[in-house]
Structure 1
Amino acid sequence: MTRPPTKPRLLTLLSLTVCWAASRALMLWMLVHDDIPLLGGGGVAREVQRLYFRWYGVLTQGAFPAQDTLWQYPPGAGPVLLSPALLPMLTYFEAFVALTLAADVLILIALTRAGRLPGRSLRGAVYWTASLPLLLHVPLARYDVQVTAFAVISLLTLSRSPRACGAFAALGALVKVWPALVLLGTPRGPVTRSAWRSSTVTATAALALLAAAFSDPFSFLRQQGGRGVQIESFGGTALSLATHAGWEGHVRYQYGAMEFVGPYVSTVAALSLALTVVAFGVLLLWRVRARRWTEATPYDAALTAVLLFTVTSRVVSPQYMVWLLGLAAVCLTSRHTSQRPVAWLLVAAAAASGLDYPVLYAEVIDRTWTGVTVMVVRNGLLATAAILSLVRLWRSARPATVPSPSSPPSVSPSPAPSVHPIPEREPSAS
């Protein structure tokens, strides 16, 4: 049983609730005043009001928008975009924002419950509450908060039920592929087998259900294959700098984003894909060579994996930061995490992303020195975070050095408490 919270803990929870309400009210105010030029000139809300609503009309007819080049999402995105129908008393836009806030609350509750467990910390809940508003009102007008909720709940249920962990990861992956990466750090043995088996079964069953309910469930693959280099990606930043050195490419709206077209763009895109493959290989090597697991290892591995795939992607939209902030918050619920410095780097990157879009987005598109500087700073912070995250994850998974038999063991007058690895057995669900 969870012990009743003490008075200081109750004050912390009350303060957390007040801060969440105040920060989300500010985000809502910015969304309502989205027509202000510095807040996007109407562009942030327009994606829900026009694009999502248009897809909603197609989905209600039992089909995915297969002929729309902007449709680039796995079939699980369909139910998410249809979900505003659950609130018929509201407009589509109002219902979408309300459900996004509900997913935000769900993440906060999950982080708070995890942080109240013995030996855990409420830092994760505080981090999520304070960091998300750095992205201004963008998270409320995208469905990345809903996807992040699947990943957060998946990780936080691992210790109690690996099957539930796998099921939530699979459902999240069907909406946006990246939540599948949260299973990378599950402890070897029965826990991994149970989580991965559950993920496979859940994904198969959900795909079959979606294929029966909608036509063209895999049409998104055609659109994803045609994507180029988005201006906010690492490759896009390199091309923006190349513009000032005489490169003759330009920016064009295609596939739902501002992308580069011109000489060497296809080469940059191919290099990004190659780096993604390399990142996947490095993560597999870590998995094979890791010898030490703590309660935080699955959380840390998930953050590292998503960071590596983010920095090597051809598209690094500001809303991708929602994923990273959510995973960093999960890491901070554990006192054994190796990712604390990474979490602070992500806070700085989120602040830079808020400047990138929507505040200075025109500068980024025009590749002025102001826009290029913002992107160099944001992507430089992400690159540093990714490298540091991988290094710290790798070191944390190495076994402690064992003294050789020939040398007498040293006796410490006040030994540090040991960190117990996760047992190699499947815990029972509670």
Structure 2
Amino acid sequence: MLYLLIHDSIGVSNVSNEVHFLYPRWYEQLTGGTFPVNDVTWQYPPGAGLVFLFPAVLPFLGYFQAFLVLTLLADAVVTLALARRGRSLAGAWMWTAGLPLLLNVPHGRFDIEVTALAVLALLSAGRRPRLGGMFAAFGALIKVWPLLTLVGAERGRTSRQAWLSAAAAAAALLAVLALGFRNSLGFLQQQGARGVQIESLGGTALSLMRASGMPIWIESRYGALEFSGMHVAIVAQVSMLLTATAFGWLMLWRGRASRWTAATPFDAALAAVLLFTVTSRVISPQYLVWLIGLAAVCLTSRHTTQRPVACVLLAASVVTALAFPTYYLEVMYGSALGNTLMVLRNGLLITATLLSCRRLWKATASTTASATAPKTAPTPSEPTPSKPTPSKPML
């Protein structure tokens, strides 16, 4: 993977451009005491600035080399954490075998670092919910999605501790960054103006419309390729409506869930991130890094319901690498090959999402098991069961 990143000669050979040119530019601004100003490519919460400042710790290396050191360290942390969890190495194998399917993309972005925080949040939240909440907050201040790792925390004390810890950690880090840097919340302006990116689910629909002759074209905006023209605004609105619906489903699931296992927080986190990924106006290839990491955490538990989902995600990773960087020009031009790759990849993501949500619901919120449970009273020779624990209030 590192060889491919350094030589950068597969398909569109610009995978490493961000580490070579974009991140160093942000680094210079951050060392000057300000977050990027009037920069449409800066779309990240202020915690991301700490990632881009890390090379300052290794001044004897160039920026590219120092950033690779940070990424490799985060990669190793994930591998070690997964390998030490439980008796099975399935999770560690999912991570180490899944990432190379994305070719040179994972180490050319900073998503491995964010995924490491999400993995640590999930693996530590069971016994130490406050620590899990802290890791989730730090990840959310780099990219928002790690906050979804808390959605499956069991209702009651565990959930309260995790969410309160996350809120306190986020507030503390935001205060430090606001005191140390200017324009720490400037990213909000860029996020609100994002359009429909060509690799998203809505983008695939628009690409097919363009192939049928509709006046739809591609423009480079906010550091990505987005669609403009007929029906684009409608597709963007539908995407946001679907995201709101996904959030509603998650809240319904939390309200109906009645059975928690050790794997439920892991499974819920994967389902939540899948929901928000497929309904987003933007799907970048590095999003698969998140999904591989979360699926790997699920596989560390023998109680997980997400094994079939992990297999689908591995297939989606292969197709993603074909779409970017291998045949990205075909995707840009909306050729038959490009559209086929996008339909297949996004179809696999939809399949993984529906499968994940269905299996999570069936395992935790379905009433089938409780309806068929025996209701006979114990015989005198049986030990008297302990008084049932009152149901815990929902967060």
Say if 2:34 is the partner of 1:63: yes
Partner of 1:3: none
**Residue of structure 2 aligned with 1:95, choices 57, 66, 77:** 66
Matched, 1:345 2:319: no
SS of equivalent residue, structure 2 residue 225 = strand
Which string of whole-angstrom CA distances, capped at 9 and with x for unpartnered residues, describes residues 291-321 of structure 1? 0000000000000000000000000000000
CA distance in 2, matches of 1:237, 1:152: 30
User: 255-264 or 308-317: which moved more?
Assistant: 255-264
Q: Could you tell me which residue of structure 1 aligns to residue 142 of structure 2?
A: 175
Q: 1:104–1:149: 8 Å Cα contact kept in structure 2?
A: yes
Aligned residues: 380
Q: Which amino acid aligns with 1:87?
A: L
Q: CA deviation at 1:135?
A: 0.5
Question: How many Å apart are 1:66 and its aligned residue?
Answer: 2.0
What residue is the counterpart of 1:208 in the other structure? 175
Q: Residues 216-365 of structure 1: matches in 2 within 5 Å? A: 216-365=183-332
Map 1:18-37 → 2, pairs under 5 A: 27-34=1-8, 36=9
Q: Aligned partners of 2:390 and 2:293: how far apart in 1? A: 26
State the 1:405 CA deviation.
7.5
Please state whether the residue corresponding to 2:220 is helix, strand or coil.
Answer: strand
1: CA distance between counterparts of 2:375 and 2:54?
A: 66
Say if 1:251 and 1:403 are closer, same or farther in 2 by CA, change over 3 A.
closer
1:150 is paired with a residue whose SS is helix
Alpha carbons of 1:407 and 1:252: their partners in 2 closer, same or farther (altered >3 Å)?
same
Answer yes or no: is the 8 Å Cα contact 1:352–1:374 preserved in 2. yes
Secondary structure in 2 matching 1:314: coil
Instruction: Report the AA paired with residue 59 of structure 1.
Output: L
Residues 371/293 of structure 1: CA separation in 2 closer, same or farther (3 Å cut): same
**Alignment CA distance shift 1:125-1:423 (3 Å):** farther
Distance apart, 1:401 and its partner CA: 2.7
* Letter in structure 2 aligned against 1:278: T
Partner secondary structure for residue 204 of structure 1: helix
Equivalent pair of 1:170/1:202 in contact (CA under 8 Å):
yes
CA contact (8 A) 2:11 2:327 kept: no
Show the 5 A alignment for 1:144-155.
144-155=111-122
- How far is 1:408 from its partner? 10
With over 3 angstroms needed to count, the CA separation of the structure-2 counterparts of 1:160 and 1:46, relative to structure 1, is: same
238 and 405 in structure 1: CA distance in 2 versus 1, 3 angstrom threshold: closer
Q: Which residue is equivalent to 1:193?
A: 160
For residues 391 and 127 of structure 2, what CA distance do their matches in structure 1 show? 14
Corresponding residue to 1:371 among 331, 338, 345: 338
Q: Distance in 1 between matches of 2:374 and 2:99?
A: 52
Note the residue ranges of structure 2 that are not aligned, 5 or more in a row: 379-388
C-alpha distance in 2 between matches for 1:378 and 1:423: 45
For the 8 Å contact 2:298–2:304, the answer to whether it is kept is yes
CA distance 1:156–1:244, change in 2 (3 Å): same
Question: How far is the alpha carbon of 1:208 from its aligned partner?
Answer: 0.4
Give the TM-score of the pair, scaled to structure 1.
Answer: 0.86
Pick from 64, 81, 84: which aligns with 2:55?
84
1:115 partner SS: coil
Q: Give deviations 1:223-255, integer Å, cap 9, x for gaps.
A: 011110000000000011001211111111110
Q: Contact 1:233–1:316 (CA<8 Å) still a contact in 2?
A: yes
Structure 2 residue identity aligned to 1:338: T
Deviations 1:12-45 (A, max 9, x none): xxxxxxxxxxxxxxx01101210x2x3432x001
The answer to whether the 8 A contact 1:188-1:424 is kept is no
Does the alignment pair 1:401 with 2:375? Answer: no
Partner of 2:385: none
Kept in 1, the 8 Å contact 2:218–2:227? The answer is yes
Cα-to-partner distance string for 1:271-304 (whole Å, 9 max, x where unaligned): 1111100000000000011000000000000000
Is the Cα contact below 8 Å between 2:12 and 2:329 reproduced in 1?
A: no
Say which of 71, 75, 95 aligns to 1:104: 75
CA contact (8 A) 2:11 2:328 kept: no
For residues 94 and 238 of structure 1, the distance between their equivalents in structure 2, rounded to whole angstroms, comes to 39
Contact 2:331 2:337 in 1 (8 A): yes
1:86 Cα deviation (Å)? 1.2
Matching residue's letter, 1:73: Y
* Aligned match of 2:382: none
The sequence identity of aligned pairs, in percent, is 57
Between the aligned partners of 2:359 and 2:236, the Cα distance in structure 1 is: 29
TM value normalised by structure 2: 0.93
Q: 1:224 to 1:405 in 2, by over 3 A?
A: closer
Give the whole-Å Cα distance in 2 for the aligned partners of 1:316 and 1:406: 49
Give RMSD over aligned pairs: 1.8
- Give the aligned partner of residue 134 of structure 1: 101
Distance 1:404 1:168, change over 3 A: closer
